[in-house]
Amino acid sequence: MHIEALETSRYKVYPIRTESAHSINYCYLLVDKATRQGALVDPSWEVDTILQRLNGLGVELTSILLTHSHFDHTNLAAAMVHRHRSAQVYMSRVEIEMYAFHCRNLHPLTDGDPIQVGETLLSSILTPGHTAGSMCFYTEGVMFTGDTIFTEGCGKCSPWGGSASQMYDSVQRIKAYPAETVIYPGHSFGAPPGQTLDYLQQNNIYFVIQTKDTFVQFRMREKQPAAMVFY
């Protein structure tokens, strides 16, 4: 399923909606306009859909960016490297070591590490909370947030490496980026991906909560309607 691309003077971002029997995910293809080199964020499900997009756009896949190690965000990483053997795979070192993730051409990242895609430079932002080593990727104008931040809320703080306290800190860090930054999460729970950070600051309850104690109590409260119901 094709969704309208975002175009800037340097790059274009193509959201790709994919699904399996149990999950709907968004992965993203960032294409550097000067070189036609591309970065694929969190490839999951529907390998043919992703390959058709790459081939149809004439993109040289050089980078695969993984926000965290959960299977629904990483399951096609190996398949994409098999087809694009020079593509390099990036994930935070904390995530790799905590969850023993492995993949050919894998590079561990630390907070702030740069990733070059043609003439487009992305930076790595360590944002633990959903998992121990969750990471967002930012270039001027856009941020890919995986399961750390959704338009409507934030990711689950799972018992194995997740932390609501760290999630609060990660949200505060993301809030400091420019208000016009377009946010591309791994899932949608109502609003389509591609809303601005300013929109989230006004409509996402986890951006509105001011204190860490309140944030932690609310995120971990008992009897939530569902894990991904955020009110």
**Total domains, the chain:** 1
Flag whether 159 is in a domain.
yes
Number of C-beta neighbours around residue 228 at 10 A: 13
- Would you say residue 184 lies in a domain? yes
| Domain extent at residue 190 | 6-219
Asked if residue 49 is part of any domain, the answer here is yes
**DSSP structural state of residue 45:** S
Chain centre to alpha carbon of residue 168: 17
Domain contains 143? yes
pLDDT digits (tens, 9 = 90+) for 35-84: 999 999 999 999 999 999 999 999 999 999 999 999 999 999 999 999 99
Which residues have a Cβ under 8 Å from the Cβ of 213 and sit 6 or more positions away? none
Residue from 71, 24, 27, 74 nearest 50 by CA: 27
- pLDDT confidence of residue 227: 54
> What tens digit of pLDDT does each residue of 9-21 get?
999 999 999 999 8
Q: Is the pLDDT of residue 231 over 70?
A: no
Query: Does the residue 231 lie in any domain?
Result: no
Has residue 229 been placed in a domain? no
Any idea what the CATH number is for the domain that residue 172 is in? 3.60.15.10
Average per-residue pLDDT for the chain: 94
pLDDT confidence tier of residue 230, bands split at 50, 70 and 90: low
Residue 95 lies in a domain: yes
Q: Does pLDDT of 90 surpass 70?
A: yes
CA-to-CA dists, residue 155 to 1, 65, 108, 188, angstroms: 24, 18, 22, 11
Report the C-alpha gap between 67 and 160 in whole angstroms: 17
Phi-psi region of 80 (alpha: psi -120 to 50; beta: other; left: phi over 0): alpha
Residue indicated by tokens 């907070």: 111
pLDDT score, position 187? 94
> Which of 80, 28, 50 has the alpha carbon at shortest distance from 187?
28
Residue that is written with structure tokens 């016009």 in the block? 180
pLDDT of 1 strictly over 90: no
Q: Would residue 228 count as lying in a domain?
A: no
Please determine, for residue 3, whether its predicted confidence score (pLDDT) is greater than 80. no
H helix intervals, the chain: 47-57, 71-74, 77-83, 93-99, 164-175, 197-203, 205-208, 212-219
Say whether pTM exceeds 0.85: yes
